[in-house]
Structure formats: C-alpha cells, structure tokens
Structure 1
Amino acid sequence: MKRPFNTFLLTAAIAVGSYALQSTNVQAQSTARVGIKGGFNASTLYYDSDGVNDKNERYGFHAGVFAQIPAGDFFAIQPELLYTTKGASGNYNILGINGTNTFRLNYAELPVLATFKLGNTVDLQLGPYVAYLLNSDINSNGDFGTGVARIDRDNFNKVDYGVAGGLNLYLGKALIGVRYGQGIQRIADSGVARTILGNAKNGVGMISIGYSFN
C-alpha cells in the first residue's frame, strides 16, 4: 500500500510541533471549547487477495462536532462525534480481465482524546476511538463494466476500535488539524468480506478544518 499521504501528515506534524515549541511566551488555554469540524480523509486497508495489486488509499471525508473539557492549565479531554469514510482501492488482473475495486466503509466514530496544550495555539492529542459501521459496498470499474455492489453489513464487524493521534493548530477560533487513526479490530467477520479482506484493519489519515464557538 502506498502511503504518501501519511508521510505528508508526519511532515506537517513535525513542522507545527517545532513552531509550538518556540512559542514559550503563550499562556495555556483553560476554557472549554465546543465546535464543528470536517475535512479530507485518505484511508487504507491491508488485505491479501489473489490477482489484486497496486493497492491505494480511498479518498473521502469526515464531518462532525467536538468538545474540549479542560482538566488543568495544560491538559484537556476532547470527545468527538464524526461521520467518517474508510476503505481502500486495488487494481485487479484476473485471467486477463482488468479493473479497479474500491471497498467503501462508512462509520459513525467517537474518539476520546487526551489533549496536551502547548500554549493557546497548539494541541497534541492521543487516545482511543470506537466506531459503528453504517453501510458498506464495493465500487467496481473495469472490463466487466462499472457499478456498485452492496456488501451485507453482517459480513463485517459492526464495531471498529483503535487509537488515534495528531495535533491541532488554532488561529483564533478557527483550527487546522492533522490526525492518523489505526484500527485494532479486524474488519471482516464472515462471508465474502472475510474471503477477500482476511485480517485487514482500518487505517486513516485526516486533515481537518474547524471552528470553535467559544
């Protein structure tokens, strides 16, 4: 699986973190925040399937709400409720028949993140998430034609969970954030999904913009 987007996330995190460490004269934010956020996803699935090659990210989005609850001058807890897209795409060549399959998994996700505040501008975050699978399908485009086939949710574990980490940069009430989440739960549970995906787990990188109302 190619991972250029995840390399970009790491570069962005280092750059913003360096900026934060130089801002030693900024006082820590100690008031609660409530806001909205959304942005771009690049998700991956690590799966093995005969004839599948050149596996790539699925590009999608996330959107939702967040709250930040202070627990001291330099620490807070941030729960969120997000709609988020996950999955991956892969090219196949089976008996000379070529095409691309995109596995699309869409979740309602609840991260609960420990937030370490570097002044009033930068937050470093790490914590668990749990997600509930809302729907799933495969989008196919190739020699067989183009179409979307539903995969019964019963073939998947409806609950996904894992860990997420990243940082936010606040510009007044506006924010820009980067995050990576790695699933721990195996996605496929039974049926065709288990045959294709095996022990695959979710991985997703996010770039967010948002607004804090207070």
Structure 2
Amino acid sequence: MKKYIKLGALAAIAAAGLSLYSTTANAQTRPRTGIKAGLSASSLFYDNANATDKKERIGFHAGVFTQLPIGSAFAIQPELLYINKGASSGYSAIGNTGRNSFNLNYAELPVLATIKLGNFADIQAGPYVGYLLSSNVKTEGSLGNVGVNLNPDQFNRVDYGLAGGVNVYFGQLLIGARYEQGLQKIANTTASQAVLNNARNGVGLLSIGYSFN
C-alpha cells in the first residue's frame, strides 16, 4: 500500500511540475504591454576648446512599451518615449565667461531585441530613432542670464543610435536601466556647429514601469 501511495505522490509531484512549467512557458510567450517613466542623465559628446566643466542634464523620460515574444526565451520590444537630452558646459570667449545649458527634447522609438531570463529579468539591445520636438539654450554668466528657444532646424531633427540595458520584474512592476549612444551629429548649421562641433547624444535611463499583463 505504501508503495502505491509513494507512486501516487510522485505522479502528483510530476503533474504539478509539468503544470508549473506549462504555466511559466505560457507566461513567457504572452505579449507584455505597459507604461514606464523615470530619470534621464544626458551628456553631449563633443570637442570644443572653449567648452569647459561639462555636466550632464538631469531630466526625465516617459512612455509605453510592448514586448512581443518569439519563443519562450526571446522577444522584440518596441517602445514610444518622450525623453529629455542635452548637457551644459562652461565657456570663455572674448573676455566673457559663463555657462551654456543645451536642452533637447525628443520623441523616440527604440526597437530592442530581448533575451528573457524567465519571467524575472530581461537583457535588451537594439537601435533607436528619435525626432527632435523642441530645443532651448540657456546662458548664464557675464553676458547675463538668457533663455533662447532656438529653432529646431538649427539641429538635425532626426537622431539615431544604439541602446542596451536590463529589466528586473517584481510581478507586474519593473525596474530598468539602459544606456543609449547617439550616432547622429546634433548640429545642423554653421552657427550650431561652431558651438557643438560634432556633438552626439549619450544618455543613461533609470526606469520604473508597470506591465498590464
């Protein structure tokens, strides 16, 4: 009798294990859609002899994402984000000193290849393309404090580059970290190139999100 009880218990454990595996695999192959937001820390990579003491611009990003599984361990994740980029630097020219703050705001579409580590974490990498929505340069120093809404046509409207990062899930909540490196030069005119030279965007993102499914 004990033998049959043991065999029954083993069968029940095996059935429970198969059920758990099936549930986990099914969860991994369902689309995942949600919202995310958080901080952005942006730099402009450029070489200008008059620019000193370069600092990041601390801003924010927010948007939506959808994760489309391709099998149980791989997915494609497109996103649509609003994101702050830019930086600040000191300047010294013709006896005048001060600080310029470059504020660039984009709508951005990353498309990320995603390696799924179960339902608990993702590793992601892929390209992004962004569109410049607005731009602002603020000058503080011996020339006074001035805020100027520069025409975005002074800059390349389209930005593109590569992104990579990780997500960790706590049920439907997620925490993510990512870095994006722009490949497109920002400046588009002689005047903007005189200040920014061959500057490109670089930004780190720290996100908190919620998955609806």
TM bracket (short chain): 0.7 to 0.9
Give distance in 2, aligned partners of 1:147 and 1:36. Answer: 36
Alignment partner, residue 176 of structure 2: 177
Find the residue that maps to 1:145 and give its secondary structure.
Answer: coil
Shift, 1:144, TM fit: 2.2
Alignment partner, residue 129 of structure 1: 128
Alignment partner, residue 157 of structure 1: 156
Which amino acid is 2:30 matched to? T
Instruction: Check conservation: 1:111, 1:128, Cα contact below 8 A.
Output: yes
Give distance in 2, aligned partners of 1:96 and 1:41. Answer: 34
CA offsets 1:62-108 (integer angstroms, 9 cap, x no match): 00000001111000110000000111110123344332111111100
Shift, 1:48, TM fit: 2.8
Which amino acid is 1:103 matched to? F
Percent sequence identity over matched residues? 57
Shift, 1:30, TM fit: 2.1
TM-score normalised per structure 2: 0.85
Alignment partner, residue 93 of structure 2: 94
Which amino acid is 2:207 matched to? S
Find the residue that maps to 1:203 and give its secondary structure.
Answer: strand
Alignment partner, residue 7 of structure 1: none
Q: How well do the aligned residues superpose, as a CA RMSD in angstroms?
A: 1.5
Shift, 1:154, TM fit: 1.4
Which amino acid is 1:105 matched to? L
Give distance in 2, aligned partners of 1:60 and 1:46. Answer: 17
Alignment partner, residue 73 of structure 2: 74
Which amino acid is 2:110 matched to? P
Question: Which 5+ residue runs of structure 1 have no aligned equivalent?
Answer: 1-26
Alignment partner, residue 83 of structure 1: 82
Find the residue that maps to 2:33 and give its secondary structure.
Answer: strand
Alignment partner, residue 186 of structure 1: 185
TM-score normalised per structure 1: 0.84
Find the residue that maps to 1:116 and give its secondary structure.
Answer: strand
CA offsets 1:5-30 (integer angstroms, 9 cap, x no match): xxxxxxxxxxxxxxxxxxxxxx5622
The answer to whether 1:143 aligns with 2:142 is yes
Alignment partner, residue 166 of structure 1: 165
Alignment partner, residue 44 of structure 1: 43
CA offsets 1:146-190 (integer angstroms, 9 cap, x no match): 221122111111111111000000011000000000011111111
Give distance in 2, aligned partners of 1:195 and 1:158. Answer: 18
Find the residue that maps to 1:56 and give its secondary structure.
Answer: strand
Instruction: Check conservation: 1:47, 1:196, Cα contact below 8 A.
Output: no
Alignment partner, residue 58 of structure 2: 59
CA offsets 1:115-138 (integer angstroms, 9 cap, x no match): 000111110000000000001111
Which amino acid is 2:81 matched to? L
Find the residue that maps to 2:145 and give its secondary structure.
Answer: strand
Alignment partner, residue 206 of structure 1: 205
Give distance in 2, aligned partners of 1:135 and 1:93. Answer: 26
Which amino acid is 1:56 matched to? K
Give distance in 1, aligned partners of 2:189 and 2:200. Answer: 14
Give distance in 2, aligned partners of 1:52 and 1:156. Answer: 19
Give distance in 2, aligned partners of 1:68 and 1:77. Answer: 6
Q: How many residue pairs are counted as aligned between the two chains?
A: 189
